[in-house]
């Protein structure tokens, strides 16, 4: 690759949701059969979530990821053989190994690209996108497929109403290509491992069995407070580092966990809610998939236009967070 292409640009996007749509009402009715009380009113009022998509048992993350990647490649007009880097952000990998990215690679029929997973929970996509951008800027890749994909339903304790109503399954992907004009114009990633316990799925496969707790556990209020604080701070610093302000940003795509987090964040940053892409009502929290899913929805419905400035922001387990500023 020549030194005349020092930047990376998003040239296509795609997403995929499993077909099984579960409304709040349907979920509440199902939980009632296990004597667990919840309601559409509680879920909608506290989170903004109205429905989610749940993969059938046995459907793996790689299946959702591969379909989202196919759609992104078709949108970009790029053949899978041209891809030299595949990164999958996921916390619900198919296997201990190989990586989900290698399984996606085989599914796409690509040979030879570097392929690996990134594990940063709900910040996974911004971590993966920043990694791919860094590869391209360093001249180590020309065309990357960056995917966020999850089957979070597989790590939920369906008897814990404090968590199981919040999440859904899905996948989103972008194609990132070397370019002589800047697309990714800023990025920052952070973590604070001392807060690992506020959001965790602390299980593992070892010595022939599951050890630890295989389910997601969360201190919802601690995560809520941290999310608003770090996303506000990170939005300000990533724009300032690029010589811009929040007023220059056309669209915000924060991680879709809770409509109240998005509303608080927009208010703190003095950004009108109309500039925030919201999909949490439709998809619930799909962890690493939420940002590329929302990006794809807003590109396809015509909201996000070429040339506009988009701020992508992830936050979640680890504790991790980060922002990527993209000129579309
Ligand atoms: O990707 C990042 C991951 N997660 C997040 O970003 C989540 C961040 N946190 C949140 O979104 C919110 O903290 C929650 C939505 C999880 C919880 O909302 P909250 O307003 O903080 O509620 P709470 O935990 O204080 O619970 C209030 C009440 C409790 O009952 P009592 O103790 O007041 O009687 C809960 O037991 O609501 C109860 N509750 C429910 N009731 C009906 C908790 N879950 C449910 C439920 N249905 N599903």
pLDDT tens for 192-207 read: 999 999 999 999 999 9
**Within this chain, do residues 171 and 195 fall inside the same structural domain, yes or no?**
no
**pLDDT above 80: residue 17:** yes
**Within this chain, do residues 199 and 160 fall inside the same structural domain, yes or no?**
no
**pLDDT above 70 as % of the chain:** 99
Cβ(285) – ligand 1 distance below 6 Å: yes
**pLDDT above 70: residue 4:** no
Given 142, 157, 180, the domain boundary residue is 180
pLDDT of residue 5: 84
Domain assignment present for residue 51? The answer is: yes
| 204 belongs to the catalytic site | no
| 197 belongs to the catalytic site | no
Residue 280 sits at φ, ψ, to 5 deg, of: -60, -30
| 190 belongs to the catalytic site | no
Cβ(226) – ligand 1 distance below 6 Å: no
**Within this chain, do residues 32 and 61 fall inside the same structural domain, yes or no?**
yes
pTM of the prediction? Answer: 0.97
Given 180, 196, 220, the domain boundary residue is 180
**pLDDT above 90 as % of the chain:** 98
CATH number at residue 45: 3.40.47.10
Residue with token string 């993969």 = 55
Number of domains into which the chain is organized: 2
Mean pLDDT of the chain: 97
**Within this chain, do residues 35 and 162 fall inside the same structural domain, yes or no?**
yes
H-helix segments, the chain: 24-32, 40-47, 61-76, 100-108, 124-137, 161-164, 220-241, 259-269, 280-283, 290-300
What is the rounded average pLDDT of the residues 172-185? 97
Domain assignment present for residue 231? The answer is: yes
**pLDDT above 70: residue 1:** no
Mind listing the pLDDT tens digit for each residue in 87-102? 999 999 999 999 999 9
Domain assignment present for residue 308? The answer is: yes
**Within this chain, do residues 135 and 271 fall inside the same structural domain, yes or no?**
no
């Amino acid at each position: 690759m020549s030194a005349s292409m020092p930047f990376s640009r998003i040239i296509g996007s795609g997403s995929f949701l499993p077909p099984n749509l579960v409304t709040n009402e349907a979920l509440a009715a199902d939980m009632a059969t296990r004597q667990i009380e919840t309601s559409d009113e509680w879920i909608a009022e506290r989170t903004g979530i109205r429905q989610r998509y749940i993969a059938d048992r046995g459907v793996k993350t790689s299946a959702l990821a591969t379909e989202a990647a196919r759609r992104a490649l078709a949108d970009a007009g790029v053949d899978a053989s041209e891809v030299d880097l595949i990164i999958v952000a996921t916390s619900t990998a198919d296997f201990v190994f190989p990586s989900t990215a290698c399984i996606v690679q085989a599914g796409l029929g690509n040979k030879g690209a570097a392929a690996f997973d990134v594990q940063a929970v709900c910040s996974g996509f911004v971590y993966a996108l920043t990694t791919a951008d860094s590869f391209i800027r360093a001249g180590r890749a020309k065309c990357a497929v960056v995917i966020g994909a999850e089957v979070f339903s597989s790590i939920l304790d369906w008897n814990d109403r404090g968590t199981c109503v919040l999440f859904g399954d899905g996948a989103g992907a972008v194609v990132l290509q070397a370019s002589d004009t800047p697309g990714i114009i800023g990025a920052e990633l952070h973590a604070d491992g001392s807060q690992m316990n506020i959001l965790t799925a602390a299980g593992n496969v070892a010595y022939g069995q599951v050890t630890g707790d295989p389910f997601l556990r969360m201190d919802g209020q601690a995560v809520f407070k941290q999310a608003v604080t770090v996303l506000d701070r990170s939005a300000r610093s990533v724009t300032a580092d690029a010589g811009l302000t929040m007023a220059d940003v056309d669209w915000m795509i924060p991680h879709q966990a809770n409509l109240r987090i998005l509303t608080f964040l927009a208010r703190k940053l003095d950004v009108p809610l109309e500039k925030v892409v919201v999909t949490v009502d439709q998809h619930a929290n799909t962890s690493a998939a939420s940002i590329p899913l929302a990006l794809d929805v807003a590109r396809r419905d015509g909201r996000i236009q070429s040339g506009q400035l988009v701020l992508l922001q992830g936050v979640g387990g680890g504790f991790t967070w980060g922002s990527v500023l993209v000129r579309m």
